[in-house]
């Protein structure tokens, strides 16, 4: 290196190459410990290239601050002098355009944000080069001298090469961290999916003269649909099916909330409208305003074959009785919209041959290549055509029909849940 002072800087290519080789070795054995790796890059750069100090800062795009990630050769007092803002400092040109910034005399250059502190630290000259990723500076490597110094073009190239290796280290460490995060999320999703699967795999109720079947398929690892069977006193069976807003983990948590609150209320209160009113209040109080759920809840008395239900904003279940199709609409608004909700209930007598279908909108909102919805009419038609089959087989035929109808390129996917009750005698 050439110098304006008598300081002995390295002036041979071999010394410059040695630091690059050392840093390359670090990248191999770093185990993606970014802080330690960047600290060692700063140490090697300062030691082997014989400058007073070296720092590496990364840009925080949301604030414009150049966040210190590693340093060597500078005091704690200087490093903690205050936030370094790219737009107000010697980093501005590096971040804005990727240009190298040289400051020969920190006492006279207005680009330095903390010139008095730099002078007190014994800094005379500074070189700033960018950590480039796809042509954009995401941070900067700075070197400092304790006497006035002009860096040659060759020296600048050397420091740029060091900065490039630092940029690679940052990129690899972030990719590694992202991969670890993905693995963690996948692990948690697998656990959540297993828990939800167990919640939805309650034993199928056995009622003499009836065949009951329930089926659920989430569109992601965990879903926002659920069904539940609740054993109640006096030969009563609670039957619930719900659909909460959102998808993934947030939806699964909301499902757990609705299901738990429903069970607590249903097992302690007989009046169905009061059960749903209390579930609505709890959901409104304990969730975000954008969270809501539709819920269909009915109680089947197996002795008298009376089915009493409340429909809280859910798509209409339907009862096939001969050629008649009866939609179960009575109820009120979805859960969680308002603190006070008014709900009504209706009772129907289940008769031999009746087929009750309770489902979520994942069946009807499937779209084909012509952007047509599967819709309620196709759903009714498939159920009518296969009503003579057992409930499990009916669901299988419905799923086949939707699979044939559905567009392979459709980006819309939704959870599908269905409960089928067939009265045999």
Last residue of a domain, one of 178, 212, 234: 178
Transcribe 264-305 into DSSP letters: HHHTT---HHHHHHHHHHHHHHHS-TT--EEEEEEEEETTTT
The predicted structure's pLDDT at residue 299: 95
For residue 191, is it within any domain? no
The predicted structure's pLDDT at residue 50: 87
| CATH at 42 | 3.30.450.40
Helices and strands in the chain, H and E counts: 10, 16
Q: 139: which residues sit within 8 A by CB, 6+ positions away?
A: 56, 57, 58, 59, 66, 69, 130, 131, 166, 167, 170
- Number of domains, the chain: 2
Residues 172 and 215 in one domain: no
For residue 190, is it within any domain? no
Residues 168 and 210 in one domain: no
Tell me how far CA of residue 202 lies from CA of 197, 228, 263, 309, in angstroms. Answer: 9, 7, 13, 21
| CATH at 328 | 3.60.40.10
Domain span at 316: 202-423
For residue 186, is it within any domain? no
Residues 25 and 168 in one domain: yes
This prediction has a pTM of: 0.59
The predicted structure's pLDDT at residue 3: 43
Q: Are 215 and 390 in contact (CB under 8 A)?
A: no
> What tokens does 78 get?
């200087």
Please state the φ and ψ torsions of residue 56, each to the nearest 5 degrees. -130, 125
For residue 379, is it within any domain? yes
Residues 247 and 365 in one domain: yes
290-341 pLDDT per residue, tens? 788 999 999 999 999 999 999 999 999 999 999 899 999 999 999 999 888 8
Query: What percent of the chain is modeled with pLDDT above 90?
Result: 46
Residues 165 and 313 in one domain: no
> Distance between the two ends of the chain, CA-based, in angstroms?
98
The predicted structure's pLDDT at residue 4: 46
For residue 414, is it within any domain? yes
Residues 357 and 243 in one domain: yes
Residues 287 and 239 in one domain: yes
Residues 121 and 249 in one domain: no
For residue 3, is it within any domain? no
> What tokens does 103 get?
């400051």
> What tokens does 28 get?
């191999």
For residue 2, is it within any domain? no
Written as tens digits, the pLDDT of the chain (425 aa) is 444 444 444 445 566 667 777 776 666 555 567 888 889 889 988 888 889 999 999 999 899 999 999 999 999 999 999 999 998 888 988 888 888 999 999 998 888 889 999 999 999 999 999 988 877 888 999 999 999 999 988 888 888 888 888 888 787 777 777 777 767 666 655 665 565 566 555 567 888 899 999 998 877 656 678 899 999 998 999 999 998 887 766 777 777 788 888 988 988 877 899 999 999 998 888 777 778 899 999 999 999 999 999 999 999 999 999 989 999 999 999 999 988 888 999 999 999 999 999 999 989 989 888 888 999 999 999 999 999 999 999 999 999 999 899 876 665 567 899 999 999 97
For residue 185, is it within any domain? no
Whole-angstrom Cα Rg for the chain? 34
Q: Give the span between the Cα atoms of 284 and 296, in whole angstroms.
A: 17
Residues 170 and 245 in one domain: no
Residues 142 and 259 in one domain: no
Q: Are 297 and 262 in contact (CB under 8 A)?
A: yes
Residues 225 and 109 in one domain: no
Residues 220 and 338 in one domain: yes
Q: Give the span between the Cα atoms of 372 and 420, in whole angstroms.
A: 26
């Amino acid at each position: 290196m050439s110098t304006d002072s008598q300081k002995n800087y390295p002036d041979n290519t071999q010394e410059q190459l040695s630091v690059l080789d050392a840093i390359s070795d670090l990248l191999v054995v770093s185990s993606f410990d970014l802080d330690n790796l960047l600290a060692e890059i700063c140490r090697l750069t300062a030691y082997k290239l014989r400058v007073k100090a070296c720092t590496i800062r990364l840009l925080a795009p949301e604030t414009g601050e150049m966040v210190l990630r590693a340093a060597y050769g500078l005091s704690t007092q200087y490093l903690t002098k205050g936030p370094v803002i790219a737009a107000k400092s010697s980093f501005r040109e590096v971040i804005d355009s990727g240009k190298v910034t040289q400051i020969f005399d920190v006492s006279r250059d207005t680009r330095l944000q903390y010139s008095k502190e730099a002078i007190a630290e014994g800094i005379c000259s500074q070189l700033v080069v960018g950590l480039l990723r796809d042509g954009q500076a995401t941070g900067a490597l700075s070197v400092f001298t304790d006497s006035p110094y002009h860096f040659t073009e060759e020296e600048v190239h050397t420091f740029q090469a060091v900065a490039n290796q630092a940029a690679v280290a940052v990129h690899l460490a972030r990719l590694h961290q992202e991969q670890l995060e993905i693995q963690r999320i996948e692990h948690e999703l697998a656990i959540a999916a297993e828990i939800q699967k167990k919640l939805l795999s309650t034993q199928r109720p056995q009622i003499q003269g009836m065949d009951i079947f329930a089926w659920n398929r989430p569109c992601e690892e965990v879903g926002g649909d659920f069904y539940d069977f609740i054993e109640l006193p006096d030969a009563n069976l609670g039957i619930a099916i719900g659909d909460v807003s959102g998808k993934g983990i947030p939806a699964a948590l909301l499902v757990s909330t609705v299901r738990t609150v429903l069970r607590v209320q249903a097992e302690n209160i007989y009046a169905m409208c009061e059960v749903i009113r209390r579930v609505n209040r709890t959901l409104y109080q304990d969730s975000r305003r954008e969270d809501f759920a539709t819920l269909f809840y009915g109680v089947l008395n197996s002795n008298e074959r009376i089915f009493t239900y409340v429909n809280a904003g859910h798509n209409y279940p339907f009862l096939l009785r001969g050629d008649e199709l009866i939609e179960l609409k009575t109820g009120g608004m979805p859960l969680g919209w308002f603190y006070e909700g008014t709900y009504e209930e209706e009772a129907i007598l289940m008769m031999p041959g009746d087929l009750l279908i309770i489902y979520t909108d994942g069946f009807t909102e499937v779209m084909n290549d012509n952007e047509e919805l599967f819709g309620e009419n196709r759903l009714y038609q498939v159920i009518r055509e296969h009503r003579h089959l057992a409930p499990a087989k009916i669901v299988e035929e419905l799923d086949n029909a939707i699979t044939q109808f559905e567009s392979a390129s459709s980006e819309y996917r939704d959870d599908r849940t269905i409960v089928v009750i067939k009265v045999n005698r």
